Amino acid sequence: MSQPAIFITGAAAGIGRATAELFASRGWFVGLYDVNEAGVRELAQKLGPRATCGRLDVTDAAAFAAALAQFWQASGQRLDLLFNNAGIVAVGAFESIPLARHHALVDVNFKGVMNGFYAAGDYLKRTPGARVISMSSASAMYGTPDFASYSATKFGVKGFTEAMNVEWARHGVKVMDILPLFVDTAMVRNFEMHPKSMDTLGMGLVAADVARTVWRAAHWRWWPRVHWYPSAQGWFLALANKLMPAWFTRLTTKMVSGY
């Protein structure tokens, strides 16, 4: 039996890279795909024969399909896990960010996930026990000031995950997402501005923490579970969001974000 295989978007750095390193270290075949082709080639060389790589812009549906076709052959014709990790962010007041950048967030963060599902569907259905895990965000709990478009795209990923979790259950494909708070990665450290919410909530996660959550979700065998929170803080906020009235959640959001 061939080794299990994971296809990772946004694999050159941060959460994608940490996830690739973890899964490869535990015997999985990893597919490394990113717009940063040099980055994934360097990582593939480090990981050795358990890795394949290629350039992928997730907004290009045809390129996504071609990358998955190449990966399917390299992996011994299996796709145990599609990890939709690629994403971009823009921080600041909505009107201070160019409209084209808002559109780019939708294209990468949401349409890119849809492209992945569409291109991977047949391969997942042909792999017993296959799963899809997508990166959402704690900003999908309640619309987040200074992250308006980013938050909206992550709400989209969350809703899409819930729908596909139900739809693809008949095919034996489990669909889940990860909703972290601020993660100490280059993308977060290089925000265009420093949001007050980051000071309030802190940056208590690193990429390896999220990678370990992806690993747990990929191997979960018990009751149905769709949404995964890498920290106790995130889990508590999600619970509070469900239990508290909407006015209280809005007030808390204003206080946390400095509005």
pLDDT digits (tens, 9 = 90+) for 112-163: 999 999 999 999 999 999 999 999 999 999 999 999 999 999 999 999 999 9
Q: Could you count the other beta carbons within 10 Å of the beta carbon of residue 161?
A: 24
Residue 40 has pLDDT above 90, yes or no: yes
**pLDDT band for position 25 (50/70/90)?**
very high
**pLDDT-derived band at 21, boundaries 50, 70, 90:** very high
Question: What span, in angstroms and rounded, lies between the C-alpha atoms of 183 and 15?
Answer: 9
% of the chain with per-residue pLDDT over 70:
99
Residues 99-109 have pLDDT tens digits of 999 999 999 99
**What are the backbone dihedrals phi and psi of residue 252, each rounded to the nearest 5 degrees, phi first?**
-65, -40
pLDDT band of residue 2 (cuts 50, 70, 90) is confident
- Eight-class DSSP state of 26: T
At 202 the pLDDT is 77
1: pLDDT strictly greater than 70? no
Q: What is the pLDDT of residue 69?
A: 98
pLDDT band at 86 (very low <50, low <70, confident <90, very high): very high
What pTM was estimated for this model as a whole?
0.94
Write the CATH number of the domain with boundaries 5-257: 3.40.50.720
Mean pLDDT over 212-239 rounds to 94
Task: Please check the confidence at residue 41 and state whether its pLDDT lies above 80.
Answer: yes
Q: Which of 189, 190, 188, 192 is CA-nearest to residue 96?
A: 192
Using DSSP, state whether 152 is helix, strand or coil: helix
Name the more confident of 223 and 78: 78
Q: Tell me, yes or no, if 150 is annotated catalytic.
A: yes
Q: Which pLDDT does position 29 carry in this prediction?
A: 98
Please tell me the predicted confidence (pLDDT) of residue 13.
Answer: 97
Average pLDDT over the chain, rounded to an integer: 94
CB 150 within 8 A of CB 89: yes
**Cα 185 from Cα 116, distance rounded (Å):** 23
**What pLDDT digit, counting tens, does each position of 169-222 carry?**
999 999 999 999 989 888 877 777 777 877 878 778 999 999 999 999 999 999
Active-site residue, from 142, 150, 229, 259: 150
